[in-house]
Amino acid sequence: MYHRIVDNPKSVYERTPADFRAELERLVREDYVPVTAAEFTAGTIDIPAGTHPVVLTFDDGDPSQFSLTPDGNPAATSAVGILLDVARAHPGFRPVATLYVNQDPFGDPGGRRTLPWLHAHGFDIGNHTKTHANLRQDSADEAQAEIAGCDRQIRAAVPDAAPTTIALPFGIHPRQEDLTLKGPGYDYRGAFLVGANPSPSPFSAKFDPLAIPRIRSEAATGEEAEYGSTTWLDKLSADPGERYTSDGDPARVSFPRADGTTVATAYLNRVNPY
């Protein structure tokens, strides 16, 4: 989970361009391959055998994440520009991410210039509500209007876009939680929380589409570092059996027979215990 990519971070939700690049390079070295939130929640994880999926998410539509130069190319210092540069140097590292937007994302009214570029280049556009609302403070109608309003804006900018996930502002559901995923004009597969820990596999019976955790990008020291990406990547490197590792066949769900894994009912026809 990323927010702003800036030269002088002032909170745990900000990282420098150098830190962001270094984290991507570490993911490359440790055989992670980006997938989108849409692919992850749909269970369409098609990456090479032996690699590990990682979902790169960006909240709030900040211009430091993505902006276009006058000639229509991503700014080199933006998060998307850096991601594309790392992917060019490492062709197996897919240059995809999910960007969760509010109204007028990236300083672009209605997202009319930026959202079509992202969609055309394989990036996933997700819902972050129209005004970054605390949905628990809203009535049911107001919460639905926040979610549906953002969905309409995305589709207005990109008519063939079909948002499938939402990142909850502040990690907070509406009081009526089922409104998060389904309402007038929207029908989603997953809702992402604020960073804390890795998500279960989407094929696991433990996976809850209403409450998908994320890891906040963060260095190994500082406030709440135990919840950050450096700490979690260290843990997963030290205990690789805890990582999702692809078998290279997106039609199968493979897992060690002895580990007691319980597969979600929807995927029982794809199981491949070994």
What pLDDT is stored for residue 49 in this prediction?
98
Kindly state the average pLDDT of the residues 26-50: 98
Per-chain mean pLDDT for the chain: 96
**Res 242 pLDDT > 90:** yes
What pLDDT is stored for residue 226 in this prediction?
86
Distance separating alpha carbons of residues 57 and 27, to the nearest angstrom: 14
Binning pLDDT at 50, 70 and 90, where does residue 91 land?
very high
Q: Which domains does the chain have, with CATH numbers?
A: 4-273 (3.20.20.370)
**Res 48 pLDDT > 90:** yes
Residue 81: C-alpha distances to residues 124, 173, 177, 192 (Å)? 15, 32, 36, 24
Q: How far is CA 5 from the centre of its chain?
A: 16
What pLDDT is stored for residue 257 in this prediction?
86
What pLDDT is stored for residue 84 in this prediction?
98
Kindly state the average pLDDT of the residues 183-196: 95
Distance separating alpha carbons of residues 142 and 222, to the nearest angstrom: 37
The encoded tokens of residue 97 equal 């991410």
pTM (predicted TM-score):
0.96
**Res 228 pLDDT > 90:** yes
Listed range (56-65, 182-191, 221-230) with the worst mean pLDDT: 221-230
Distance separating alpha carbons of residues 74 and 77, to the nearest angstrom: 8
Kindly state the average pLDDT of the residues 114-130: 98
Of 196, 198, 147, nearest in space to 176 by CA: 147
**Res 224 pLDDT > 90:** no
Distance separating alpha carbons of residues 88 and 86, to the nearest angstrom: 5
What pLDDT is stored for residue 144 in this prediction?
98
